[in-house]
Structure 1
Amino acid sequence: MQPKALTGRSRDEAWQVLRDSGRPGRAVDVLVVGGGVTGAGTALDAATRGLSTVLVEAEDWASGTSQWSTKLVHGGLRYLQMLDLHLVHEALTERGLLLRTLAPHLVKPMPFLIPLEHRWWQRLYYGAGVTLYDLLANVLPGERALPVHQHTTRRGLHRAFPDLRGGRAVGAVRYWDATVDDARLVTTIVHTAHTYGAQVASRSRVLDLVREDDRVVGARVRDEETGEEVDVRAHQVISTTGVWTEEVGGLAGADGGLRVMASKGIHLVVPRDRIRGSQGLFLQTERSVLFFIPWSRYWIIGTTDTPWHGDLRHPVATATDIDYVLDHANTVLTTRLTRDDVLGWYAGLRPLLQPGTRGEPDSAKISREHTVVSPVPGLTVVGGGKLTTYRVMAADAVDLSLGDRAADLPSITTQIPLVGAVGEGAMRRRMPALRDRFGWDEQMTDHLLHRYGSLVEQLLDLIAEDSSLAQPLEHAPAYLRAEIAYACISEGVLHLEDIMMRRTRLYYEAAGKGLAAAAEIADIAVQWLGWGEDKAARELADYERRVRADEAAASQPDDLSALAARDRVLRGEPAAATPGTAGGSS
């Protein structure tokens, strides 16, 4: 199907459907609440079953957990240690679907090394685990999505990762997973759902659930841009709200037994040339796992795994978090990383289904299995899960909401490539000619293919209209001006923050969180979104305030003081720095 752009008009159309739903016979079949990866997948699943579907999100697409992941599509190797074979098999099956069919432009293979310090028992232990990982990935018929694992010698390990501290390593096990731009995946799923008929509206907050007797029949929704409120009627409401799962259950007067624990994980972004290595690295720490992930021009290093009790909308990375990751990285590297090497960082929350135990469980030992329940008639709630398994979670949610009707309307999303997937190979073959025509280098064309696939054609249409769009941004040359224009007119952008944090990755992959490029990006938005100069100035001020607030938080030693520092900056007060914790360009 021809991709259908996410525009201001399409959002207006979605809101008209929400208003009209209160009229007799106009209730929507499915109202999906939550625009992360699971909500986007649920809207796509419902729409492709022929159900009238509306997806609402309180902020921007992927603005919660889905933009702060480790950027991996993976089976969860560490869950094999918990003997969670069902979860690992499910995730590996979905990984294969994304690589082969659904999103080969967005999801890319990546080899990882597990260094070994003991010649015999570790080779047997990790070798057996990764062998099982490969078997679980390849039990389905068809072409294998990724190579099987290999053992490598100490010399082979050094060739692949020269900056890994030699020490006691006797070799490594090499296995394969895949990387993804998580926020881009979510936006692409929303784009695909809209293409197949779903109405979608970001910045649309559910305030309450509407009930008749003991049944949920809709929700009260507020347009965060205009303040308008409307009671939306729906035959089924599906909550895909992640760490907010219990809050939605509370609106219904029931939680269905789902208790979700928010676990904070932080990641650092370091320039690629600071660490010599061509493959990813996987190690275990006392509290989590340590990944070194080659990602575009950078390394992503993480993660932590600690309980979070603060504002669910604004998890923050503290100085202690950043130093923890740096310290653990430096114990295994020959080079030494400092705060000056950290271009950016980010913190996110994992929605972990909490087991029925007393006290606070160890979040690092909680499975990422998902659960779908219907606490009251008319409401379906999804809890837990992980980015890789979003499609299964979505299908399960729609199945449960349909009840007996699900047998007549089965999910078909295994057969629905995301926009940009079909024709990616043909677009790839055109790239040499485009490099010659526009003076782009190979890194730029790889970047475009990885983000847009065959939708690069739509960027070329914009460039044909305005040749200046073929040029890179002056202070962020990894991105073309055309990408900003395209985000404005086709990817549902409402605010500058949407571009800086999710349509691009400048918030955490550029020094100063991309502030140097913000003015040029705002100027493009003035042209393509129709912003006035006053609007552009407000957007720039709001984004700069967000950056200063997050920088202030990262200078503090703990979550409580970090949140307080962040709030002070957002209120326009000076942030009290903690001596010795802030440093570098981070």
Structure 2
Amino acid sequence: MNGETVAGRLGPAERAENFRRLAEETFDVVVIGAGVVGAGAALDAATRGLSVAMIEARDISSGTSSRSSKLFHGGLRYLEMFEFGLVREALRERELMLTKLCPHLAKPVSFLYPLSKSVVERPYVGAGLMMYDTMGGARSVPRHKHLTRAGALRLVPGLRRDALVGGIRYYDGQVDDARHTLAVARTAAAYGAVVQSSAQVVSFIKEADRVAGVRIRDVENADGGPAATIDVKARVVINAAGVWTDELQRLSGGRGRFKVRASKGVHLVVARDKITSESGIILKTEKSVLFVIPWKAHWIIGTTDTDWNLDLAHPAATRKDIDYILGHVNSVLAVPLTHDDIEGVYAGLRPLLAGESEQSSKLSREHAVARVAPGLVSIAGGKYTTYRVMGADAVDAAAEDLPGRIAPSCTENVPLVGAEGYQALVNQADRIGARYGVHPYRVRHLLDRYGSELFAVLDLALDPEHADPQLLTAIPGAPEYLQVEILYATLVEGALHVEDVLARRTRISIEYAHRGTESVERVADLMGGVLGWSAEQRAHEVASYVARVEAERLSQTEPDDQAADQARLEAPEVRGRLVSPVA
């Protein structure tokens, strides 16, 4: 496989070269955190002509940005909070994703809003949805439509007849958050950014009262010796660490302009045949809203919204969280879901700006940017949909520490890797399938994950270096995915551990009841062949992943956050426990 033909490649060779560049170059901008906001800032800066490095302690999108509701949405419920500017901005961004920036990853998705009150609710909700459509919610998707009870039940037969008196259907956008964040990061790399995962910031470099860079540790360096630590020089550092923002702020020795509060959101994944419906569902709860979201052969149901003050890397779902979700969705389903119906569970943390309200669902989803010290900018808050705006705002704030005048943001005109030519390739799925001996359904599935990079993925199976007749067959235990995708994840997409592939490059960890344990052996074989793992390393990868699954299952039976957190932390960290930073 010719690596030069793959834009934004993040393979083993690039990782080694990146460490050399990090040690030798001075960058205009260093971004800390490879979630969607950090990746968005790195792409924004790189496309303005700045030299950029993005540092991530774990994996790309390993935190909040792989554990969201997987929606590009305007935030219908924010209309009730009178946050009209946020809704308008989010709807504009949703439109860009659906039509221009990543149509291979972002898709329209239908939702039914069941009406339970016969008189008051329809005009109230209908007025909100009319405003939503008028503000940009119906540019490239159908406008909302009022339905009678009979019409709503034809659309969603799985609802109890006495749970609604009618309904309103509207559309939003959906995305695989982890693959989208990866695409943003790789697009930044394609425009020259150094993107380095498993690189932890352990301290800030100071020159007088100015932040002049960061000291990083190679998390993959097992001996932890001097060679594992590198000083990275920068004219300005952007702290985009999400729920770790305050921790990095303390590490810098400065006083932050805002505080970040972690709110836990839990989602359940059940098989598609457990709910009979042609549409997603949105339910209003006493605290927030609950979504039932179509997800390929599954439904994603969530979310919760509770404070979390424990381990930030591994938020744990509890029995109480799961019961809360089941209780609310079962209140409207004709055939209730049980714990046995749950195939996957995941928990993520929203980085909210701390406010006076004790109810995190009422905290503003607006973001904040501050130049907290010369050479240091922090950004936090916001919502996944508006990541591009947040990234641009962070770079605008960083401009004060950069010489000369920088170009304006242009990312609204920069498609992500895989976007160019996607629509034409969808029309050619039958021909592409015949060329590679792959069913057209499989081709369309790959196109919705890789877009026009499809050929780079499939060509790996024909490359003499990797030739293996099994590469174009399914991963054991995961029929939706091909084995060649594991190779591509390792050679091109920066995957360093089996967890990276099973939890983020694919979504096997949440889409199958075994949660990846039936796939991990083959994944380890293919990754180890590329990364040169010894038998001991391979065994450690497999054992660590299995222990992770067991710990997550156990945590989900615990009654409260403290017990669930303790159970989840019993699993070994495959990257090793990150060292304690020093100021």
Q: Residue 186 of structure 1: which of 181, 185, 192 is its match?
A: 181
Question: Counterpart of 2:517 in 1: which secondary structure?
Answer: helix
| 2:42 and 2:54 in contact (8 A); partners too | yes
Q: Which amino acid aligns with 2:193?
A: A
| 1:13 and 1:199 in contact (8 A); partners too | no
1:473 is matched with 475
Q: Distance in 1 between matches of 2:8 and 2:566?
A: 43
Aligned ranges for residues 189-268 of structure 1 at < 5 Å? Answer: 189-226=184-221, 227=224, 228-268=228-268
* Alpha-carbon offset, residue 66 of structure 1: 0.5
| 1:260 and 1:384 in contact (8 A); partners too | yes
Q: Distance in 1 between matches of 2:117 and 2:330?
A: 21
2:443 is matched with 445
2:577 is matched with none
Q: Distance in 2 between matches of 1:231 and 1:569?
A: 31
Q: Distance in 2 between matches of 1:126 and 1:541?
A: 50
Question: Counterpart of 2:480 in 1: which secondary structure?
Answer: strand
Q: Distance in 2 between matches of 1:167 and 1:270?
A: 24
Q: Distance in 2 between matches of 1:398 and 1:296?
A: 36
Question: Counterpart of 2:419 in 1: which secondary structure?
Answer: coil
* Alpha-carbon offset, residue 570 of structure 1: 4.3
* Alpha-carbon offset, residue 566 of structure 1: 2.5
1:393 is matched with 390
Question: Counterpart of 2:519 in 1: which secondary structure?
Answer: helix
Q: Which amino acid aligns with 1:542?
A: S
| TM-score, normalised via structure 1 length | 0.93
Q: Distance in 1 between matches of 2:432 and 2:420?
A: 19
Question: Counterpart of 1:148 in 2: which secondary structure?
Answer: coil
1:583 is matched with none
Question: Counterpart of 2:569 in 1: which secondary structure?
Answer: helix
1:64 is matched with 63
Q: Distance in 2 between matches of 1:33 and 1:378?
A: 13
| 1:252 and 1:376 in contact (8 A); partners too | no
Q: Distance in 1 between matches of 2:41 and 2:163?
A: 48
Which whole-Å deviations, capped at 9, do the CAs of 1:33-73 have from their partners, x for residues lacking one? 00100011111111111111000000000011101000101
* Alpha-carbon offset, residue 18 of structure 1: 1.5
Q: Distance in 2 between matches of 1:424 and 1:414?
A: 18
Q: Distance in 1 between matches of 2:53 and 2:439?
A: 41
1:580 is matched with none
* Alpha-carbon offset, residue 526 of structure 1: 2.5
Q: Distance in 1 between matches of 2:305 and 2:405?
A: 40
* Alpha-carbon offset, residue 149 of structure 1: 1.1
2:33 is matched with 34
CA 1:569–1:106 in 2, change beyond 3 Å: closer, same or farther? Answer: closer
* Alpha-carbon offset, residue 268 of structure 1: 0.3
1:8 aligns with 2:7: no
| 2:211 and 2:375 in contact (8 A); partners too | yes
Q: Distance in 1 between matches of 2:167 and 2:405?
A: 47
CA 1:334–1:255 in 2, change beyond 3 Å: closer, same or farther? Answer: farther
1:90 is matched with 89
Most deviating of 56-65 and 129-138: 129-138
Q: Which amino acid aligns with 2:407?
A: L
Q: Residue 367 of structure 1: which of 338, 341, 364 is its match?
A: 364
* Alpha-carbon offset, residue 306 of structure 1: 0.5
| 1:14 and 1:54 in contact (8 A); partners too | no
Question: Counterpart of 1:515 in 2: which secondary structure?
Answer: coil
Q: Distance in 2 between matches of 1:406 and 1:118?
A: 60
Q: Distance in 1 between matches of 2:452 and 2:217?
A: 36
CA 1:169–1:354 in 2, change beyond 3 Å: closer, same or farther? Answer: same
Q: Distance in 1 between matches of 2:100 and 2:405?
A: 24
Q: Which segments of 5 or more consecutive residues in structure 2 lack a partner in the other structure?
A: 574-583
Q: Distance in 2 between matches of 1:165 and 1:478?
A: 32
Q: Distance in 2 between matches of 1:527 and 1:170?
A: 58
Most deviating of 478-487 and 244-253: 244-253
Q: Distance in 1 between matches of 2:543 and 2:123?
A: 56
Q: Distance in 2 between matches of 1:31 and 1:570?
A: 30
1:177 aligns with 2:175: no
1:113 is matched with 112
1:532 is matched with 534
1:310 is matched with 310
1:500 aligns with 2:508: no
* Alpha-carbon offset, residue 213 of structure 1: 1.7
1:280 aligns with 2:277: no
* Alpha-carbon offset, residue 483 of structure 1: 0.8
| TM-score, normalised via structure 2 length | 0.93
Q: Residue 407 of structure 2: which of 399, 406, 409 is its match?
A: 409
Q: Distance in 1 between matches of 2:180 and 2:304?
A: 23
* Alpha-carbon offset, residue 362 of structure 1: 0.7
Question: Counterpart of 1:6 in 2: which secondary structure?
Answer: coil
| 2:106 and 2:173 in contact (8 A); partners too | yes
CA 1:291–1:417 in 2, change beyond 3 Å: closer, same or farther? Answer: same
Q: Distance in 1 between matches of 2:565 and 2:476?
A: 33
Q: Distance in 1 between matches of 2:141 and 2:406?
A: 34
1:271 is matched with 271
Q: Which amino acid aligns with 1:80?
A: L
| 1:246 and 1:255 in contact (8 A); partners too | no
| 1:33 and 1:56 in contact (8 A); partners too | yes
* Alpha-carbon offset, residue 410 of structure 1: 0.5
1:24 is matched with none
| 2:254 and 2:373 in contact (8 A); partners too | yes
Q: Which amino acid aligns with 1:245?
A: T
Q: Distance in 1 between matches of 2:112 and 2:199?
A: 43
Which whole-Å deviations, capped at 9, do the CAs of 1:144-187 have from their partners, x for residues lacking one? 22221111111111111100111051211111101110000111
* Alpha-carbon offset, residue 437 of structure 1: 5.1
Q: Which amino acid aligns with 1:392?
A: V
Q: Distance in 2 between matches of 1:267 and 1:219?
A: 35
Q: Distance in 1 between matches of 2:572 and 2:100?
A: 44
Q: Residue 382 of structure 1: which of 379, 382, 392 is its match?
A: 379
1:164 aligns with 2:159: yes
* Alpha-carbon offset, residue 4 of structure 1: 3.0
Q: Distance in 1 between matches of 2:244 and 2:482?
A: 36
Which whole-Å deviations, capped at 9, do the CAs of 1:505-540 have from their partners, x for residues lacking one? 111111121101111111111333332322211110
* Alpha-carbon offset, residue 442 of structure 1: 5.0
CA 1:162–1:218 in 2, change beyond 3 Å: closer, same or farther? Answer: same
Most deviating of 545-554 and 98-107: 545-554
Which whole-Å deviations, capped at 9, do the CAs of 1:359-391 have from their partners, x for residues lacking one? x62101111100100010100100101111000
| 2:472 and 2:483 in contact (8 A); partners too | yes
* Alpha-carbon offset, residue 485 of structure 1: 1.0
Which whole-Å deviations, capped at 9, do the CAs of 1:274-324 have from their partners, x for residues lacking one? 110011100111123111001111000011000001011110001111111
Q: Which amino acid aligns with 2:432?
A: L
1:346 aligns with 2:346: yes
* Alpha-carbon offset, residue 446 of structure 1: 2.8
Percent of counterpart pairs with the same letter?
A: 47
1:128 is matched with 127
CA 1:405–1:133 in 2, change beyond 3 Å: closer, same or farther? Answer: farther
* Alpha-carbon offset, residue 329 of structure 1: 1.3
CA 1:411–1:131 in 2, change beyond 3 Å: closer, same or farther? Answer: same
| 1:10 and 1:199 in contact (8 A); partners too | no
